Amino acid sequence: MNFQNFNMNTKQQYDPTMQQGIPHTPKENYVDVKLEKMKKRIGRLIPLVVILLIASMLSSSCFVVTMPNEYTLVQQFGKVVDIKEEPGLSFKLPFIQNTKTIPNTVLLYDLPISDVITKDKKTMVADSFVLWQVADPLTFVQTLNGNVSNAEARISTIVYNSMKNVISNLSQTEIISGRDTLAAAINENIGDGLDKYGINLVAIETKRLDLPDDNKQAVYERMISERNNIAASYIAEGESEATKIRSETDKTISIQVSQAEAEAAKIEAEGEAEYMRILSEAYADESRADFYSFVRSLDAAKISMSGSDKTLILSPDSPLAQIFYNAQ
């Protein structure tokens, strides 16, 4: 083996291209071939990727997804051309038309705490909240630019003015005793004032309608004093009415007792008269007179002998004594 064959064998052992039967070329030429192939592949993929991106952009700008809790307004050059109220998928013109969403659920707005003046010039602190809903999305967009914050600012002004007008026509006592109907009065006073903004006022509720802390105790004491005075007047009227009723009842009872006593005396007199008549008839008959005298004597003896340790003393000519004498 000469030096040339040894060199060739060594190259075949360590050169992969010669081991696989690939003709040996310089390294630079081999790298350039792979780069060219890769460039050709990338060149074929770039148009496909661009087409996919354009298709994706077109599809995203064509489809409109409307959720169940919102309205979707389709605008073309700033003008509303369609309103999607039902949830689902719809279409629009790409790049020409754009969409805007507005909530269609009932929203809660907590009004700022404010002071109101009653008819009797008393200050009260009102803390309320409002439930509202977008009823006309087109009007809502045209008047308030479809902005919830703008709507809340408008609601705050209208509700506060209505509350101030209602409370200014009521005294403090009327407000405290009629809090259940106050919200209805405020809502009635607003009327359709929010319809021009496409807003439906669902409810107005008062969380707290109280006195300012600085004069709350004094007002409570005054109210307690007034209630005590009212209670005292009721008690006095009740006692006067009770005295009147008792007097009339006593009078009626006296009249009825007098009538009953008179009737009893009349009946008793009639009974005595009847008794005397029967007795006189009995004594008028000589055959019965002795018997009645004897019976009456027995009754008298019976009455006199009632009790213990009684002694009855009879004269010899007494009918009872005659009975014992005759018995001997």
Tell me, rounded to whole angstroms, the distance of Cα 117 from its chain centroid.
26
pLDDT for 132 equals 93
pLDDT tens, position by position, 298-316: 777 777 777 676 776 777 7
For 92-243, list the strands marked E by DSSP: 97-103, 107-110, 114-117, 123-134, 199-210
Instruction: Output the CA torsion 54→58→61→67 (10° steps).
Output: -110
pLDDT tens, position by position, 242-257: 999 999 999 999 999 9
Residue 287 has pLDDT above 70, yes or no: no
Residue 127 has pLDDT above 50, yes or no: yes
Query: Residue range 145-149: average pLDDT?
Result: 89
Confidence band (pLDDT; 50, 70, 90) for 133?
Answer: very high
C-alpha 260/C-alpha 5 separation (Å) is 166
Query: Residue range 225-234: average pLDDT?
Result: 89
DSSP 8-42: HHHHHHH-HHHHTTPPP--HHHHHHHHHHHHHHHH
- Give the range among 51-55, 102-106, 111-115 with minimum mean pLDDT: 51-55
pLDDT tens, position by position, 17-50: 444 444 444 445 545 666 777 766 776 667 766 6
- Give the range among 124-128, 135-139, 178-182, 202-206 with minimum mean pLDDT: 178-182
Residue 222 has pLDDT above 50, yes or no: yes
Average pLDDT, the chain: 78
Residue 3 has pLDDT above 50, yes or no: no
3-state DSSP call for residue 133? strand
Residue 89 CA: distances (Å) to CA of 53, 59, 92: 21, 12, 10
C-alpha 298/C-alpha 302 separation (Å) is 6
Rg of the chain taking only CA atoms, in angstroms: 60
Regarding pTM above 0.75, the answer is no
